Chain A
């Protein structure tokens, strides 16, 4: 069982990486790229019950894995 966590920069935060990747994609000829956001992906291998892990993973995301001032996160446990 794994928790799969995706962390992305909040919309209001400057994301120069996303902007640079977007420019590169446009230079490569991909038309219609509206925006690129570069974030993080974290996998945590777990044992035990998925439902009991859910609040703990949420807490870990809030306290350590993401910074709520600048980042959003969502996760699945499967």
Chain B
């Protein structure tokens, strides 16, 4: 499968994403500069973390007007698979591809630590390969990861099963102590109504190899792969052996 990993001025997780998708998972992964107006023949788009445009004004606010984002919007609206990680999540919210917004952490501190994620539903192209009941241990690194949406939007997220990742304790409880940034409902990641666009604050690409301490993050990318393979009918035999 072919992944396009966007690059904005200030992106800094783009290389990690290309490394994991290319070297660890054996896929085609290419950088896509923000001035490009097409995503070419990519099967999926990754909006990586970082500090696009220096986080000026609001995180993700300037990046939403990059030429490449018009192409990403069209791709997403046609059902294309898009994942935004950390700053990518902020950009997708600002763009309107995902509901809600990310604001300053409750503590006002940049939080850089490893957390546990509960996966409320396997019914998405981003969580299907997470075994039921399994928590994911992945790092976070952000100053503005506090998820906010108004009551109506939040009710819709719950009703439509759009909450994909929630901060939890080691035993899977959604407590206030396990919530590193004050996100409503401990939300760490969501998907859109069409379930083809996902945003998450934690960094699965930083936990996709055991040599780096954990490989739980792979499950997210493997879920995407499985979804794409099922869609195109390619590679099913290969993944069946995994």
Least distance between A19 CB and chain B CB atoms (Å) = 9
Q: A12-B150, A14-B148, A64-B65 are in contact. Are A69 and B106 (CB under 8 A)?
A: no
Query: In the complex, A17→B107 CA distance in Å?
Result: 9
Query: In the complex, A13→B104 CA distance in Å?
Result: 10
Contacts of A67 in B (CB 8 A): 58, 61, 94, 101
Q: A64-B61, A67-B94 are in contact. Are A16 and B107 (CB under 8 A)?
A: yes
Q: How many A-B residue pairs have CB under 8 A?
A: 37
Report how many residues on chain A are interfacial, defined by Cβ distance under 8 Å: 12
Does A20 sit within 8 A of B, measured CB to CB? yes
User: Contact between B149 and A16 (Cβ–Cβ < 8 Å)?
Assistant: no
Q: A64-B57, A69-B149 are in contact. Are A14 and B101 (CB under 8 A)?
A: no
User: Contact between A17 and B108 (Cβ–Cβ < 8 Å)?
Assistant: yes
Does A44 sit within 8 A of B, measured CB to CB? no
Query: In the complex, A17→B93 CA distance in Å?
Result: 22
Report how many residues on chain B are interfacial, defined by Cβ distance under 8 Å: 20
Does A65 sit within 8 A of B, measured CB to CB? yes
Least distance between B180 CB and chain A CB atoms (Å) = 13
Which A residue's beta carbon lies closest to that of B60? A67
Contact flags (1/0) for B105-118 with A, using CB distance below 8 Å? 11110000000000
Least distance between B165 CB and chain A CB atoms (Å) = 20
Across the interface, B150 reaches (CB within 8 A) one of A16, A17, A20, A69, namely A69
> Which chain B residues numbered 77 to 105 have a C-beta less than 8 Å away from chain A?
93-94, 99-101, 103-105
User: Contact between B150 and A65 (Cβ–Cβ < 8 Å)?
Assistant: no
Does B48 sit within 8 A of A, measured CB to CB? no
Which A residue's beta carbon lies closest to that of B153? A69
Which B residue's beta carbon lies closest to that of A65? B57
Contacts of B101 in A (CB 8 A): 67, 69-70
A13, A17, A20, A67: most-surrounded residue (chain B CB, <10 A): A67
CB-CB nearest 6 A-B residue pairs: A69-B101, A70-B101, A16-B108, A13-B148, A16-B106, A67-B101
Can you show 20 pairs from A to B with CB atoms below 8 A apart?
A: A9-B103, A13-B148, A14-B103, A14-B106, A14-B148, A16-B104, A16-B108, A16-B182, A20-B108, A64-B61, A65-B57, A67-B61, A67-B94, A67-B101, A69-B93, A69-B101, A69-B149, A69-B150, A70-B103, A70-B148
